[in-house]
Every structure is written in C-alpha cells, then in structure tokens.
Amino acid sequence: MKLEDLKKYKFFWYIKKKLKIKSKNKIFFEKANFNRISFIHRALRKFPQKTAKYLEIGVFQNAVFDTIYLSENNKYGVDPQSGGNYKMTSDEFFSKNKILFDVIFIDGLHHYKQCQKDCINALKFLKPNGIILLHDLLPQNADEEFVPQRNKTWTGDVWKVAVELNLSKNLDFRIVNIDHGVGILKKKKNYDYRVLKGLEKERFETFYNKYFRKLPIISCKEAMKFIDSK
Ligand SMILES: C[S@@+](CC[C@H](N)C(=O)[O-])C[C@H]1O[C@@H](n2cnc3c(N)ncnc32)[C@H](O)[C@@H]1O
C-alpha cells in the first residue's frame, strides 16, 4: 500500500470510529424471521375467519393489507393517499364509523398526537377480546425518530404512545423487538389511556435514556404466547 493510500485509509478509519462513538445510543432488534405481518396473522387466527373484522390505519402499498385472507367485506384499509379501500384520514373514518373490529393495525401518520388519537379511537372500536397492533414503536436512532421526517426509514415519535400505553390502566401492552418495534395491545374493562404531560417536545435521547429500558419488550416467541393468551 502506498503511503498516500495508507494515510487515506487511516483518515477514514478515524472518521468511522468517531461516528460510531457519536451514535452509540442505538437500538438493536432481535434477529428473527418474523415481521409485523406474522403477528397480525397470529392475532386474526383467534377469530372465526368468516366473521372476523380487520382494520388497518395507513395502508400505503398494501404490503400487509393484501395478505389478509378475509373476505373483502371484512377488511377495512384507511389511507388518504394510497392503498386500502377507504380513501380518507383515520380521523374522518373514525368520525363516521359504527363497526367494532377484532384486529386493528395502526400504522398511519407517525406523529405522536395523531398516533395517540388513532390508538384512543381504535380502543373505542375494538371488540372486548380484540387485539390492536401498532407499528414503529422503537426508533433505532435520532434520524429515524426526528419529526418532521428527514430519513428514509422513519418511525417518527410514536414511541411516546408506547410510553403512555405502558403507564395506562387496564391495558395489557407489550412490544416485540423486531421490524421497528411492533406493539401488541389488549384492553380490559374500565381501561384508561393515560396522556402524559410534557412528552411532546422530547426527542430520541430522552426516549433512549429515560424510557426505552422501562418498556415491556418481549421476544417473538413470547409475543406469540401473549397473542394466544386470553
Ligand atoms: C408507513 S405507511 C403504512 C405502511 C403499511 N401499513 C405497511 O405495513 O406496509 C403510512 C401510511 O399512512 C398514511 N397516512 C398518513 N396520514 C394518515 C392519516 N391521517 N390517516 C390514515 N393514514 C394516513 C400514509 O399515506 C402512508 O401510506
């Protein structure tokens, strides 16, 4: 190797090392061949295929929606831009809705307050033994978390909803540590969604240092058991 090349190599190595140090607050996922779809299907398995009702908030390219094996009448996909079968915002949909669902997947706008609204509405329109799944609860770094979106992979700050669900009363809540964090939620009688004051301005560092380790994070295997349990 020429001296010049060696100098260049050393320089890049130094920068890489520095960057690594800078981004040491990073979240790693469980290595497993599961994703959000695995858990949605597992949840749907609990309900009779002929009558089960599924709602997806935020559908995009139908990557999940098309895999749902229910009749077209029992699948509700809500997105103002693309995919699904209800071209409107979640707020518009819930304001007119009268149907109760067995399984609801929340994956719409990744802004804390919108996701919080989606979650509160989903709880209202969930059958008593139904299951809600939420996507993107575990940002891996500050770029993925930042609002407004500045990174291709983007969870936004919906982790704040996970923090609130974890502190809420009579809500049984877990997060699977895969596929950007998949939340699983069941409601009990007299549940009470707890809105936390002062979360709105918090960013990734607060999530990582203050809340991440307190979240009910479970493995894929445990998640399957949790879904199957009463
Ligand atoms: C991350 S994508 C959904 C991906 C899809 N669920 C999947 O798993 O492949 C988010 C979607 O939410 C939609 N969206 C944005 N604001 C929304 C709102 N207020 N109500 C419902 N959907 C919304 C966007 O148009 C976008 O298609």
Other Cβ atoms within 10 Å of 66 Cβ, number: 12
- pLDDT for residue 3 is more than 70: no
Residue 10 lies in a domain: no
Residue 4 lies in a domain: no
- pLDDT for residue 22 is more than 60: no
Residue 2 lies in a domain: no
Q: Which of 29-33, 55-59, 172-176 shows the lowest per-residue confidence on average (mean pLDDT)? A: 29-33
Residue 13 lies in a domain: no
Residue 38 lies in a domain: yes
pLDDT given for residue 9 in this prediction:
55
Distances (CA, A) of 83 to 2, 68, 78, 107, 176: 55, 13, 8, 13, 26
Residue 213 lies in a domain: yes
Q: 37 CA to middle of ligand 1, Å?
A: 15
Q: 59 CA to middle of ligand 1, Å?
A: 5
Q: Which domain holds residue 73?
A: 31-228
Residue closest via CA to ligand 1's atom 5 equals 59
Residue 138 lies in a domain: yes
Measured N-to-C along each axis, helices 36-44 and 220-228 cross at an angle, to the nearest 10 degrees, of 20
- pLDDT for residue 121 is more than 70: yes
pLDDT given for residue 8 in this prediction:
59
Q: What CATH number is given to the structural domain containing 154?
A: 3.40.50.150
Q: Name the domain count of the chain.
A: 1
Averaged pLDDT, 2-14:
60
Report the share of the chain in percent with pLDDT over 90.
Answer: 85
Ligand 1 pocket member 78 (CB < 6 A): yes
For 163-219, write each residue's pLDDT tens digit.
Answer: 999 999 999 999 999 999 999 999 999 999 999 999 999 999 999 999 999 999 999
- pLDDT for residue 68 is more than 70: yes
* 29 vs 128, residue with greater confidence: 128
Residue 12 lies in a domain: no
